[in-house]
Structure 1
Amino acid sequence: MVGGRQGQLASSGLRPGWTTGACATAAATAAWEALLTGEFPDPVEVDLPQGRRPSFALTVEDVSGDVAMAGVTKDAGDDPDVTHAALVRVTVRRGRPGGGVTFTGGPGVGRVTLPGLPLAVGEPAINPGPRRMITENLRAVSLRCGGVPTDVAVEISIDDGAGMARHTWNPRIGIVDGLSVLGTTGVVVPYSCSAWIDSIRRGVDVARAAGLQHLAGCTGSTSERVATELFGLPTLALLDMGDFAGAVLKYVSRHPVERLSLVGGFAKLSKLANGHLDLHSHRTSIDTAHLSALARDGGAGEELQRGIRGSTTAMAALQLAAAAGVPLGDLVALAARDHAVTVLRGAPVDIDVTCIDRAGAVVGTSDSGRS
Structure 2
Amino acid sequence: MRVFFGWKVVAAAFVLAAFGWGIGFYGPSVFLHALHAERGWPVAVVSAAITLHYVCGAAAIARLPAAYARFGTATVTRAGALACALGLLGWALAAAPWQLFLAAPVTGAGWAATGGVALNAVVAPWFDRRRPAALALAYNGASVGGVLFTPLWAALIAGYGFPAAAATVGVLTVLVLWPLAGRFFRPQPDALGLHPDGAEAPPPPRPTLAPPRGGALARDVRFVTLSLAFAVALFAQVGLVAQIFSLLAPALGETGAGGAVSLLTVCGVLGRTALGAVLRPDAARLAAALNLMVQIGGMAALLAALPSGSVPLLLLGCALFGLGLGNITSLPPVIAQAEFPPALVGRVVALVVASNQAFYAFAPGVFGALREAWGDGAVPVAAAACQAAAALVVLAGRGTGRGWR
TM-score normalised per structure 2: 0.22
Higher relative contact order (CA 8 A, sep 6+): 2
Q: Structure 1 length as normaliser, TM-score? A: 0.23
Q: Tell me which structure has the larger Cα radius of gyration.
A: 1
Compare the two structures and name the one with the higher helix fraction: 2
Would you tell me which structure has more strand in proportion to its own residues?
A: 1
